[in-house]
Structure 1
Amino acid sequence: MIRSYIMGLALMISSNLMVAQDSYRNEIISIQPHSELIIAGSTNVNKFDCTFDIELISSPIAIAYQRKEDLVKLKDLKLSLRTSGFDCGNKRMNADFQDLLMSHKYPAIEIEVKQLELIAGDYQKAFLQVTMAGKSKQYELPVLVKDDFYKGKLRLNIRDFGLEPPRKALGLIEVNEIIKVQFDLKVAR
């Protein structure tokens, strides 16, 4: 009788520990206005930067996370970047950028952060899912994390999302299919 009581107690304690290890913690974060997010690209003639209006994603975001040793799993940490929030420097470039991203049909680029893994020192590896023009792709990239600043670059091939590099001036100017998403985000808790 005592033996089955001890076994039952041990089972309850171990199952409670397993639940505690698998539970997510909740926190509210916000991306601060002095953050930067830029899509950089090039043509066979020139380079261009399209800067995102950070105010569009500065509202508080509820996140859920679970920390296990050097790994932080995140639940539902998604950034929705309205394509109309990018400024490429002039109206014509903005219109071309909107056309490239098919913003009339897909008005947002979705970035979901799945997890972060400590690499070394101030560097972590971010596991992301990017959805653009209705197609999703998984990425891993190093991110410098220092004092709630998250800084990194992600190289994307627009063809992976079913997008075709546009040609201008009777085909004399062609956009490179590789673009870089550069970010320097300050997060407040």
Structure 2
Amino acid sequence: MFAPQRQEKKVMVITHHEVKVSGYTSLGRFNCDFTRVGEKDTLNLNVPGNHPSLEFEIPISSFSCGNFLLNKDFRSTLKSSEYPCAQVEVKNLYEMKGGLFCHLTVNLVGKTLEFPEMELERGEDNISGKLVLNFDMLDLDPPNKFGGLIKVDDRLDLEFVLGI
């Protein structure tokens, strides 16, 4: 009668990955994104213990920021010649108190960032999570151009979208 309620085990089929990075400069907002469609992966929901995680690589050169100058600056800032790919791992997907959570690991510019209880949002055909990073977390300096006339804010907003 007082036993904990068991969560129903489910499998989610992931049909695409999308990563959006946005930030602000002294001239306005910038958006860069990466989408990979056509690869199918699965995530187990509410399965305790070790089970396969969802891992994918993001080639930094595949991000699109709207024009070649922004693309070049974005790649240079993320040191794409030294770190050509970012890695993302989603594991331990579970439901709790009506919410959806996971353990997210992001490896970017040689730094591994762990988000052990990241809350996700459910959409009609996707699940997504939002992070706020700053350049200090990545041991990077915010870029500036033209002798400091154009500066990038220290905050970067990342959104991960997994299509289901």
Give the drift of 1:133.
Answer: 0.7
| Aligned twin of 1:182 | 159
| Aligned twin of 1:45 | 27
Are 1:126 and 2:102 an aligned pair?
yes
**Which structure carries more strand by proportion?**
2
Which runs of 4 or more aligned residues in structure 1 lie more than 6 Å from their structure 2 counterparts after TM superposition?
Answer: none
Find the partner of 1:150 among 115, 127, 130: 127
The runs of 5 or more residues in structure 1 that have no matched partner are 1-24
Larger Rg: 1
Give the drift of 1:66.
Answer: 6.8
| Aligned twin of 1:87 | 64
Amino acid at match of 1:129: T
| Aligned twin of 1:20 | none
Query: SS of the residue aligned with 1:87?
Result: coil
Identity of aligned residues (%): 29
Give the drift of 1:147.
Answer: 5.3
Are 1:136 and 2:105 an aligned pair?
no
Give the drift of 1:124.
Answer: 1.1
- Closer, same or farther: CA 157–119 of 1 in aligned 2, 3 Å: farther
Are 1:111 and 2:88 an aligned pair?
yes
Query: SS of the residue aligned with 1:175?
Result: strand
Report the TM-score, using the length of structure 1 for normalisation. Answer: 0.70
- Closer, same or farther: CA 88–45 of 1 in aligned 2, 3 Å: same
| Aligned twin of 1:67 | 47
Deviation readout 1:122-180 (Å, 9 max, x if unpaired) = x2122111101111011142101355520221111232122211111111221122111
Contact 2:109 2:138 in 1 (8 A): yes
Contact 1:102 1:133 in 2 (8 A): yes
- Closer, same or farther: CA 73–116 of 1 in aligned 2, 3 Å: farther
Find the partner of 1:159 among 107, 127, 136: 136
Contact 1:66 1:74 in 2 (8 A): no
Report the TM-score, using the length of structure 2 for normalisation. Answer: 0.79
**Which structure carries more helix by proportion?**
1
Q: Distance in 1 between matches of 2:110 and 2:103?
A: 19
Query: SS of the residue aligned with 2:39?
Result: coil
| Aligned twin of 1:31 | 15
Q: Distance in 2 between matches of 1:73 and 1:180?
A: 30
| Aligned twin of 2:5 | none
- Closer, same or farther: CA 63–186 of 1 in aligned 2, 3 Å: closer
In the alignment of these two chains, the number of paired residues is 154
